[in-house]
Amino acid sequence: MNTTPGFQVNDKKVINGWAFFDWANSAFALVITAAIFPVYYMAVTDDTVNVLGMKMSNSTLYAYAISAAYLLVAAVSPLLSGIADYSGRRKFFMKTFTTIGALACLVLFFFKGMGTLSLGTIAFIIAMMGFAGGLVFYNSYLPLIASEDRYDDVSAKGFSFGFIGSVILMVINLVIIQYYEAFGFKDQGTATRIAFVMVGLWWLGFAQIPFKRLPKDQRQEMPPQVLKKGFQELKKVWNAAKQQRSIGMFLLAFFCASAGVQTALYLAATFAEKELHFASAELILIILILQLVAVLGTIVFAKLSDWKGNKFALSVIFFIWMVTCIFVYFIDTKPQFYIAAVSVGILMGGTQAMARSTYSKLLPENTPDTTSYFSFYDVIEKVATVLGTFSFGIIGQLTGSMRLSVLALSGFFVLALIILQAVKMNIRHEGSGTVIES
């Protein structure tokens, strides 16, 4: 419920302004974390790098960088949630993290190769922290700007704005990189680094729309316990999950699946470049395919869930993930990888949508502190990302094979599928009024 003086909920202009933050920062999620930057990182660094006296492949170092960023974010996420709830300074911290992330993107322009490897890697980690930190405060605005019956619609609008905005900038970047001479750049490397600058400017520039339209901060004196409040809330949910077996088992299954899903998202382009020698344009096409078919995945698995239930839909998703990882291990041609990319894209959309809705249905009826439950859910996803990307990196480092790293991801989905079977779903059929437990 909105408590901001003189501020009206469900204001269309404010909601659209809020959604523009997704338009702004999703460019980072697509261009930097998934598409252009991973390709550039692999191209300008040596196949084997020396970090703190340890030799590892550049793909392993990249995986470790993602792990480090998410580990740091997972550690401070509960603290940020507490600040968002009790300080009344959402916009201040949202601006701070956005500015830090966007400036880090601008710094990536100076990442030109091995001589600036540390600069590029650290700037990437800081940018990821700015992105994830900003999202904490962005999400916390939802109950302020919309009534509960509008949460789904408003949240979906943010997702739609993010998809459209990120794809637009991605296409612009691709055109500039492919036709760099026409734009006055001496080589593709310079044009690519300009793309990083454009992400930072796009992110910071369009973020001014929500900064202007969202309600002003109502600054409050933070109570002494605010620094530990977020961690206390997570502990409370942890204790509740131990007592409610289905929630606990679902979160464990979600943890295993997220380790595989997030790793596949972040390292798909790296695998294609290293193992199948995809060119930059081909890699970007793969990422666009993932983005487009992800929407289809949400529709397909939502229909399957309506027909057979959430648990069945998630079981199918986890099984196909496992098969896809095994398939990728054996592929040796580009057309085969395009087939795998379509599968991964559909599964990503379905996994994200089904996991969130299933978790919502498992929460105790009339739960007053859903924010705490979803904060716990968010931390689990981040820690799972750390485990998945670190496992991918360490297996690649020890074996010298990214294919074995991919094959190992299938193990996460096997575990998720097995654990999910212990979850009891109570599904009410409104027409008959009966309840079926599965």
- Each residue's pLDDT expressed in tens, for the chain with a length of 438 residues: 444 555 688 999 999 999 999 999 999 988 998 788 988 998 899 989 988 888 888 888 888 888 888 888 888 877 776 676 666 778 888 999 999 999 999 999 999 999 999 999 999 999 998 998 888 788 778 777 888 677 657 776 887 788 789 889 998 998 899 899 999 999 999 999 999 999 999 999 999 999 999 988 877 766 666 667 667 777 777 887 777 888 889 999 999 999 999 888 878 878 888 888 887 678 777 877 777 787 778 778 878 887 888 899 999 999 999 999 999 999 989 999 999 989 988 898 778 778 877 877 787 766 655 556 767 887 888 889 889 988 988 998 888 888 999 999 999 999 999 999 988 876 443 333 433 445
The answer to whether residue 347 sits within a structural domain is: yes
Q: Are 182 and 250 part of one and the same domain?
A: no
Q: Are 155 and 269 part of one and the same domain?
A: no
> What is the number of domains present in the chain?
2
Q: Are 280 and 192 part of one and the same domain?
A: no
The answer to whether residue 222 sits within a structural domain is: no
Using DSSP's 3-state secondary structure scheme, residue 55 falls into strand
User: 424 to each of 305, 319, 361, how far by Cα in Å?
Assistant: 15, 19, 11
Q: Are 130 and 249 part of one and the same domain?
A: no
The answer to whether residue 417 sits within a structural domain is: yes
Q: Are 184 and 248 part of one and the same domain?
A: no
For the entire predicted model, the pTM comes to 0.76
Region of 80 on the Ramachandran plot (φ > 0 left; ψ -120 to 50 alpha; else beta): alpha
Torsions phi, psi of 369, nearest 5?
A: -115, 55
CATH of the domain at 398: 1.20.1250.20
The answer to whether residue 216 sits within a structural domain is: no
Q: Are 345 and 406 part of one and the same domain?
A: yes
Q: Where is the domain boundary, 180, 210, 240?
A: 210
The answer to whether residue 220 sits within a structural domain is: no
Torsions phi, psi of 10, nearest 5?
A: 60, 25
What's the rounded Cα separation, in Å, for the pair 63 and 268? 11
Q: Are 294 and 432 part of one and the same domain?
A: yes
Q: Are 70 and 144 part of one and the same domain?
A: yes
Residue 400 belongs to what domain range? Answer: 228-438
End-to-end alpha carbon distance in the chain: 35
What's the rounded Cα separation, in Å, for the pair 64 and 385? 11
User: 267 to each of 33, 65, 287, 403, 409, how far by Cα in Å?
Assistant: 9, 12, 11, 12, 12
Amino acid at residue number 405: S
Q: What is the DSSP string of 421-436?
A: TT---EEEETTTTEEE
Q: Are 71 and 169 part of one and the same domain?
A: yes
Q: Are 189 and 287 part of one and the same domain?
A: no
What's the rounded Cα separation, in Å, for the pair 328 and 330? 5
Task: Work out the widest C-alpha separation in the chain, in whole angstroms.
Answer: 69
Q: Are 150 and 241 part of one and the same domain?
A: no
Q: Would you say 62 and 52 are in contact if contact means Cβ atoms under 8 Å apart?
A: no
Q: Would you say 169 and 29 are in contact if contact means Cβ atoms under 8 Å apart?
A: no
Q: Would you say 121 and 61 are in contact if contact means Cβ atoms under 8 Å apart?
A: yes
Q: Where is the domain boundary, 151, 179, 210?
A: 210
Q: Are 199 and 232 part of one and the same domain?
A: no
The answer to whether residue 68 sits within a structural domain is: yes
What's the rounded Cα separation, in Å, for the pair 343 and 320? 8
The answer to whether residue 189 sits within a structural domain is: yes
Q: Where is the domain boundary, 210, 245, 260?
A: 210
The answer to whether residue 88 sits within a structural domain is: yes
